[in-house]
Amino acid sequence: MASDQGSDYKTVRGLTRGLALLNTLNRLDGGASTARLAELTGLHRTTVRRLLETLQDEGYVRRSESDDSYRLCLKVRELSEGFRDEQWISAIATPLLAELLQEVVWPTDLCSLDVDAMVVRETTHRFSRLSFHRNMVGRRLPLLQTATGLAYMAFCPEAERVRILELLASREDEEGRLAREPVALDNLLRKTRHRGYGENYMSWNKEERIASIAVPVHDREQQRLLGCLNLVYVAKAMSIEQAAERYLPALLRTARKIEEALSQQRVASE
């Protein structure tokens, strides 16, 4: 029996229902019980439970022992690895970062999350005369030791932050240790939100001579965090406070311009 689209194959109902569950969990802030998911999807509770157990076995969801609710795991990000909306984000940002370079001289990067690290998508390092790195695109930056990572962790949704920290805490490295210190980390992220920017002053051992400040970049329509925009400089040149006083306004203006350009492009494509 052919489908409405002319296919010679029947729709795989189990796959359709599993995707419906993933989409529903993705829209919820936090987890949901089997009963709640059955209500939202219109599926029988037994069917929902069976599908959730399969998704849990495959690593896409996990069940909370405290309230028997289900939540998405970071593995769901693998489903979007082949789709890079960051590519057009970077295309929009390129001329804006070029303008920013003329004003601040120090190099800047536009970064987005890639599972457990921030990845540089666009940069002015190759054009800045003050840069000490040329090949930055694609470089991975730690989440808890860089200004960019801390800005993302501070301003991303709480449910996303919890999932990321769970992943980091399972690792036996410096980030894992930091992720297992919830009180200290919570205080740091609160301070970051209060300041409005992330900071790093020689605290990443792979780049001990650099310092950086970073601000979040949002998708206003979809109400999500796209990534972060940073400014990198030689630490001995100035303190974090001096860098923020001199360059934070320009960073924030550029971040807003990127957000506005994204909104305008979306309207134009509709």
| CATH architecture for segment(s) 13-79 | Orthogonal Bundle (1.10)
| Confidence (pTM) | 0.69
pLDDT tens track for 140-197: 999 999 999 999 999 999 999 999 999 999 988 999 999 999 999 999 999 999 999 9
For the chain, the domains span 13-79, 86-269
Judge whether 226 and 217 are in contact, CB under 8 Å: yes
Find the mean pLDDT for residues 59-82.
Answer: 77
Contact 63, 24 (CB under 8 A): no
Q: Which CATH class is domain 86-269?
A: alpha beta
Distant-in-sequence, close-in-space partners of 95: CB < 8 Å, separation ≥ 6: none
Fold agreement (13-79, 86-269): no
